[in-house]
Amino acid sequence: MVGLSLGEKHFIQGGIAQDLRCDGRKRLTYRPIYVETGVIPQANGSARVRMGATDVIASVKAELGKPNPFQPDKGKVSIFVDCSPTAAPTFEGRGGEELSTELSAALHRCLLGGKSGAGAGIDLSSLVVVEGKICWDLYIDGLVVSSDGNLLDALGAAIKAALSNTGIPRVSVAASAPGDDEPEVDISDEEFLQFDTSGVPVIVTLTKVGKHYIVDATTEEESQMSSAVSISINRQGHICGLTKRGGAGVDPSIILDMISVAKHVSEQLLNQLDSEIAAAEAVNEES
């Protein structure tokens, strides 16, 4: 954990109360975001996102699989997050495992929507090749390379960037007798289908320190939090998922206020992220 003296703690809390944080930011300002796409050639799509000293990598791999018998018209997506002990010694063993499960569950909740698939950032029905028989399984892996707070927002942004970088090979199905359980498929090496990522939400985490809340908290600031709420919001301003961290109780009206603040912040973040992703993709195509 972060070892802070009493003076440092007061300095952080006082700064947040006066809307001037240790690194000169205001309460609702993000650190500069750097996006790099296509960092892992073996994956179908990948991206690296840096926000200050927080550094994460997300990769998307697609494999052909069989759809769930209960949902024959949908593909499958699974999200895993790995907190490597190289990022922080506390990530070794159980500490890292707990954080990984928490982050994976939060990302799952924020990106994949309800059980019926409504509100999902990724359109699962677009992953189906042959209904009930073949679909794409998307494996989204996040890796925390270096941690300086606000991991969830960074991972959310990295996954969004990785998905817009993802190309899924076009699959042609050979005509076969109906009832054939395993139709023959031909995976094209040249033609790739791009993902529509306009529906993928961004995650905004508001960390409550004292009476105020801040976005994009650093590790030092996070150590002073009483609670934090992560809200994922899409282009339309709809809330796609929400998770609360920290055990301290919060008044319901404060949570509703946090949601409206997050909505406001998300618009700027979405625009910034989209332009960063577009710039990164342009660099990729040039090289």
Q: Which residues bind another protein (CB under 8 A)?
A: 70, 98, 101-102, 105, 109, 112-116, 118-119, 229, 234, 237-252, 255-256, 259-260, 263
Residues present in the chain in total: 287
Evaluate whether 35 touches 47 at the Cβ level (below 8 Å).
yes
For 20-23, the CB contacts below 8 A with 24+ separation are 21/214, 21/221, 22/218, 22/220, 22/221, 23/52, 23/218
* Pick 170 or 245: Cβ nearer another protein: 245
Closest approach, Cβ 103 to another protein, in A, equals: 11
* Pick 119 or 167: Cβ nearer another protein: 119
Closest approach, Cβ 67 to another protein, in A, equals: 16
Measure the CA dihedral 15/19/21/27, to 10°. 140
* Pick 10 or 238: Cβ nearer another protein: 238
* Pick 40 or 155: Cβ nearer another protein: 155
Evaluate whether 174 touches 186 at the Cβ level (below 8 Å).
yes
Local structure of 230: helix, strand or coil: strand
Closest approach, Cβ 232 to another protein, in A, equals: 9
Q: 22-35 burial string, b = 16+ CB within 10 Å, else e?
A: eeebebbbbbebeb
* Pick 42 or 253: Cβ nearer another protein: 253
Closest approach, Cβ 50 to another protein, in A, equals: 28
Closest approach, Cβ 119 to another protein, in A, equals: 3
